[in-house]
Structure 1
Amino acid sequence: MLHLRVIAPAELRNPILNVLQREPGVTHIVLHPNAAVEPAGDEITADIAREAANDVVERLKSLDVQNLGAITLEVLDTVLSSAAYHAEDAADGDAADAVVWDELVARTRDESQLNVTFLLFLCIACLLAAVGVLTDSPVTVVGAMVVGPEFGPLAALAVALVRRRMSLARRASAALLIGFPVAMAVTAGATLGFEALGWVELTSTRELHGVDFIFQVGPFSFVVALLAGAAGMLSLVSAKSAALVGVFISVTTVPAAGFAVVAATMGDWDIAAQSVAQLAVNLVGITIAGVLVLAVYRRLQTAKESGGRRSAGV
């Protein structure tokens, strides 16, 4: 279930309570009159079955609560209440299949911000990938896959395309279009530094055998990117973080960027180009898969809402 907290002017008290009391998937409604100081107004809380959250939030937004006050949602891990069980049973659908769109937009917006933390993670991931290439170590390359933060902006881009949030699309695109060149430039400098220190001898990437799969672009590169993107979006929607780790390990997004840098440093421009192509295939494939998954969820939600209106005789 989700815990809802609403802060709103006192004149919206009855309309808000009416929205909550009319929804079978809502329970544990609590009113604190004039409890809010900034912005001034009432505090109203309730527990909502995940399946009912979209309808409730949309009705509250139609009252302009988000501008006059605030709407917050919090995931509840454990709820021991017969009323809560009845609310979940009364809600239409299954919690695991419910997409709370505002929650998804907020989550992906936070993970797609171009900030120092994002750049540091991306730089570290590219550096790990470069070290994995230089040492022909698949294990190190896998570590780079796990550390890479690029799925956040890709997921945000998919959400932005489906929900038509252009500001979110610009934010995610900026994180990718600025983040990768910066990380690759840092990696190039570090690679040349490793050579200057005598830690590695740069000859050719053509002699590598343990990590040569990174730059080998083929039809399965796109298939894997699609499957990984679909699994990643499903993990975000269902909040299954364990599945997301598997997504990181299955795609060669960051390793391709690292390989391109090392190959370019060694003068293997054809391999560097193939690595960049692998990077592009992964980025595009993951985004397309995310859009398709969300489009299916939106279609199912629309069909459910239409069925509900027909059942109500509307």
Structure 2
Amino acid sequence: MRLVQVAIPEGNRDAVLEILDDRGIDYVVSDETSDRDYEATVTFPLPISAVEEVLTSLRGAGVAKNGYTIITEVETVVSKRFEELSEEYAEEGDEDRIAREELQAKAQGLSSSTPNYVTLTLVSAIVATAGLLLDSPATVVGSMVIAPLIGPALSASVGTVVDDDELFKRGVKLQFLGVVLSVVAATLFAVAVRTIGVVPPTLDPTTIGEIEERLAPNVLSLAVALGAGVAGIVSLTAGVSTALVGVMIAVALIPPAATIGIAIAWQLPGAAIGSSVLTLVNLLSINLAALAVLWYQGYHPEPIFRRADARSATIKRLVVLVGAVALLSVFLGGVTYSSYTSATTEQDIRGAVGGVLEDTEEATLLDVSIHTTNEYVLFSEPRRVVVTVGVTGDRPPDLAERLDRAVDRMAGQDVGVQVRYVETETVG
């Protein structure tokens, strides 16, 4: 529910009150006693979904030119007529959809001042980098909580549909700035950590669980980003808190950006490519989902002559975003397919090795380790298979050859096979 207060310019009082009477809206009128060009102030409660339609009608009565309007949120309205009005608008459309003016104001309010935005982004990226290197999910989640990325991510879409170029440009600029700052901060922090020896010199970041899951993005990553965009804009248009949704948007941006910095610091180009694609896909998908939802919900500029321009800009930007996401999705699809084929091949190799060892009484299979090429880029292939077997006596003379033939057959190519023998002894 909203409480609307409108200052009525001189000569417009009767027209304004007639509009409210025709809609069955309860109101209170106060005469204006100041020397300004206002005749009166009218205050009235409205259901959320009625605000935009009523304000549009009031503008037609001359309020927009010289008056002003204040919209505030209220907890409860006790009125029989208000209940009837709420039921009427609930039947006509989405009762939780906030007015265009309120949407625009909320989007502007979500964007922090540039100094605060820069500071919070830098801190968030550094905390995320530390959390990734520590393999600490709690620390990574903490970095998402302080990330101020939800404002710019939603502002650009709101600016597009309401034809507010300044809001759109600010949203795009802050998104770009946020991602760049995150990568730079993560890189510098990771280089410093590695240089001064805070982490072991032999540390391989690609073996850390929190980092590994962001190195080879697949199609499911697209679902996460689209879901974050939809959830973010729906929470904004419904007038509910965006704090938790902001964490979800940060999930899609801050950890992948920090992973890029770690990959750069450790000079891992394959890992940097994978995490860069993930970051870019997430960024574009969030904007695509938010813009599509706003368009579907019917938001547009109030002046009719501006609607065509806003519609044209919205369609063009949707096409660009869809094209970019589709292009990057080819990479995601390739990674998904590559992951599937690699997993299938590895399973077949392990099965073949196990089959050979089952037919060899003198040896017992202890471990199978499969090393691949281009582990975090498209189309990785098995490069070397290390088989560890336990023996109690003499080594089987032809075991290595049989394993090599079995592995090559499953892999469909020549793969190096190394057999390691471990003497075992059974007592009792």
Q: What CA RMSD, in Å, does the superposition of the two structures yield over aligned residues?
A: 2.5
35 and 47 in structure 1: CA distance in 2 versus 1, 3 angstrom threshold = farther
For 2:82 and 2:280, locate their aligned partners in 1 and report how far apart those are by CA, in whole Å. 46
Structure 1 pair 114/283, CA: closer, same or farther in 2 (3 Å)? farther
* 1:100 positional shift: 1.5
Q: CA deviation at 1:194?
A: 3.5
- How far apart are the structure 1 equivalents of 2:123 and 2:39? 47
Q: Which residue of 1 aligns with 2:282?
A: 282
Q: Is the 8 A contact 2:185 2:261 kept in 1?
A: no
- Give the length in aligned residue pairs: 296
| Cross-structure match for 1:310 | none
Q: CA deviation at 1:125?
A: 1.7
For residues 271 and 145 of structure 1, what CA distance do their matches in structure 2 show?
22
Is 1:73 aligned to residue 105 of structure 2?
A: no
1:17 equivalent in alignment to 2:17: yes
User: For residue 58 of structure 2, what is the amino acid of its counterpart?
Assistant: L
CA contact (8 A) 2:12 2:62 kept: no
Secondary structure, counterpart of 1:164 in structure 2? coil
Choose 79-88 or 184-193, whichever is displaced more: 184-193
Give the distance between the partners of 2:261 and 2:34, measured in 1 at CA.
Answer: 54
Q: Distance in 1 between matches of 2:21 and 2:181?
A: 52
Q: How does 1:102-181 map to 2 (within 5 A)?
A: 102-181=101-180
- What corresponds to 2:31 in structure 1? 33
Question: Displacement, 1:63?
Answer: 4.0
- 1:214 and 1:114 map into 2 onto residues whose CA distance is 30
Which moves more between the two structures, 71-80 or 7-16? 7-16
* Partner SS, residue 44 of structure 1: strand
How far apart are the structure 2 equivalents of 1:190 and 1:66? 52
Q: Give the C-alpha shift of residue 266 in structure 1.
A: 1.6
Post-superposition offset of 1:176: 1.1
Larger radius of gyration: 2
- Return the offset for 1:40: 5.0
Q: CA deviation at 1:36?
A: 5.3
- Partner secondary structure for residue 211 of structure 1: helix
Bigger relative CO (Cα 8 Å, ≥ 6 apart): 1
Query: C-alpha displacement at 1:170, in angstroms?
Result: 0.5
* Structure-1 residue corresponding to 2:40: 42
Paired position in structure 2 for 1:229: 229
Unaligned runs of 5+ in 1: 300-314
Bigger mean CA offset, 260-269 vs 244-253:
244-253
- Which stretch shows the higher mean deviation, 266-275 or 202-211? 202-211
Q: Deviations over 1:34-68 (max 9, x none)?
A: 14566755322111122211111112233453441
Inter-CA distance 93–264: structure 2 relative to 1 (3 Å threshold)? same
TM-score (norm 2): 0.63
Please tell me whether the aligned partners of residues 126 and 258 of structure 1 are also in contact (alpha carbons under 8 angstroms).
yes
SS at match of 1:155: helix
Identity level (%): 23
Amino acid at match of 2:21: Q
Q: Retained in 1: the 8 A contact 2:216–2:275?
A: yes
Cα deviation digits, residues 231-258 of structure 1 (max 9, x gap): 222222223337x625624742111111
Q: Does the 8 Å contact 2:8/2:67 carry over to 1?
A: yes
Question: Which is worse superposed, 37-46 or 252-261?
Answer: 37-46
Tell me by how many angstroms 1:94 deviates.
5.3
In structure 2, the CA distance between the partners of 1:64 and 1:268, relative to structure 1 (3 Å rule), is: farther
Q: Deviation per CA, 1:268-287: give whole Å up to 9, x if none.
A: 12212222211111111111
Per the alignment, in what secondary structure is the counterpart of residue 78 of structure 2?
coil
CA displacement, residues 177-202 of structure 1 (integer Å, 9 cap, x when unaligned) = 22332343333333344345543346
Please state whether the residue corresponding to 2:209 is helix, strand or coil: coil
1:122 partner letter = T
Counterpart amino acid of 1:12? N
Amino acid at match of 1:214: R
Matches of 1:55 and 1:159 in 2, distance apart? 18
Regions of 4+ moved over 4 Å: 35-41
Q: Is 2:87 the partner of 1:89?
A: yes
Structure with the largest fraction of helix = 1
Question: In the aligned structure 2, how far is the partner of 1:260 from the partner of 1:35?
Answer: 62
Farther-moved stretch of structure 1 (6-15 vs 168-177): 6-15
Q: List aligned pairs for 1:179-190, cutoff 5 A.
A: 179-190=178-189
Distance 2:165 2:132 in 1: 37
Tell me what 2:56 maps to.
58
Question: Any conservation in 2 of the 1:229–1:247 contact (CA below 8 Å)?
Answer: no
Residue 292 (1) aligns with residue 277 (2): no
Letter of the 2:283 counterpart: L
Helix, strand or coil at the partner of 1:6: strand
1:245-284, aligned counterparts within 5 Å? 245=244, 248-249=247-248, 251-284=251-284
